Amino acid sequence: MSKFCKLTGTKHMFGKQISHSNKKSSRLFKANIFKRRIFLINKNQFINIFISNKGLKTLDKHSFNIL
Protein backbone atom coordinates (compact mmCIF):
# COMPACT_ATOMS: atom_id res chain seq x y z
CA MET A 1 0.00 0.00 0.00
CA SER A 2 1.44 3.35 -0.98
CA LYS A 3 1.43 6.05 1.66
CA PHE A 4 -0.64 9.10 0.91
CA CYS A 5 -2.56 11.58 3.02
CA LYS A 6 -6.22 10.62 3.43
CA LEU A 7 -7.20 14.23 4.08
CA THR A 8 -5.26 16.23 1.47
CA GLY A 9 -4.31 13.48 -1.01
CA THR A 10 -0.60 14.35 -0.89
CA LYS A 11 1.62 11.67 -2.49
CA HIS A 12 5.24 11.30 -3.51
CA MET A 13 6.59 13.32 -6.47
CA PHE A 14 9.22 12.60 -9.09
CA GLY A 15 11.93 15.05 -10.05
CA LYS A 16 15.56 15.40 -11.02
CA GLN A 17 18.66 15.40 -8.85
CA ILE A 18 21.25 17.75 -10.33
CA SER A 19 24.92 17.26 -9.50
CA HIS A 20 27.63 19.91 -9.38
CA SER A 21 28.64 18.95 -12.93
CA ASN A 22 24.95 19.45 -13.97
CA LYS A 23 24.26 15.74 -14.54
CA LYS A 24 20.59 14.97 -14.06
CA SER A 25 19.24 11.76 -12.56
CA SER A 26 15.74 10.83 -11.46
CA ARG A 27 14.82 10.88 -7.79
CA LEU A 28 11.78 10.53 -5.58
CA PHE A 29 10.51 13.28 -3.28
CA LYS A 30 8.67 11.59 -0.43
CA ALA A 31 5.67 13.26 1.19
CA ASN A 32 5.76 14.14 4.89
CA ILE A 33 3.35 11.36 5.95
CA PHE A 34 2.68 10.09 9.48
CA LYS A 35 0.44 7.39 10.91
CA ARG A 36 -1.70 9.06 13.56
CA ARG A 37 -4.45 7.93 15.90
CA ILE A 38 -7.36 10.41 15.84
CA PHE A 39 -10.44 10.41 18.06
CA LEU A 40 -13.80 10.94 16.38
CA ILE A 41 -16.24 12.54 18.79
CA ASN A 42 -19.41 11.75 16.85
CA LYS A 43 -18.56 8.01 16.59
CA ASN A 44 -16.87 7.90 20.01
CA GLN A 45 -13.89 5.88 18.72
CA PHE A 46 -10.29 6.18 17.60
CA ILE A 47 -9.17 5.66 14.00
CA ASN A 48 -5.67 5.19 12.60
CA ILE A 49 -4.97 7.14 9.41
CA PHE A 50 -2.00 8.23 7.32
CA ILE A 51 -1.96 12.02 7.35
CA SER A 52 0.53 14.62 6.17
CA ASN A 53 1.87 17.49 8.22
CA LYS A 54 -0.28 19.90 6.22
CA GLY A 55 -3.28 17.66 6.88
CA LEU A 56 -2.61 17.79 10.64
CA LYS A 57 -2.53 21.58 10.51
CA THR A 58 -5.79 21.60 8.55
CA LEU A 59 -7.36 19.21 11.03
CA ASP A 60 -6.35 21.45 13.94
CA LYS A 61 -7.64 24.56 12.17
CA HIS A 62 -11.04 23.08 11.28
CA SER A 63 -11.36 20.54 14.08
CA PHE A 64 -14.79 21.80 15.11
CA ASN A 65 -16.14 21.07 11.59
CA ILE A 66 -14.44 17.70 10.97
CA LEU A 67 -14.89 16.09 14.37
Q: Per-residue pLDDT tens for 53-66? A: 998 888 888 875 55
**Do the Cβ atoms of 10 and 58 come closer than 8 Å?**
no
Residues 6+ apart with CB under 8 A from 2: 11, 12
Residues 6+ apart with CB under 8 A from 26: 14, 15, 16, 17
Average confidence score pLDDT of the chain: 87
**Do the Cβ atoms of 34 and 52 come closer than 8 Å?**
yes
Verdict on whether the full-model pTM lies above 0.85? no
**For the residues 4-16, what does the mean pLDDT come to?**
91
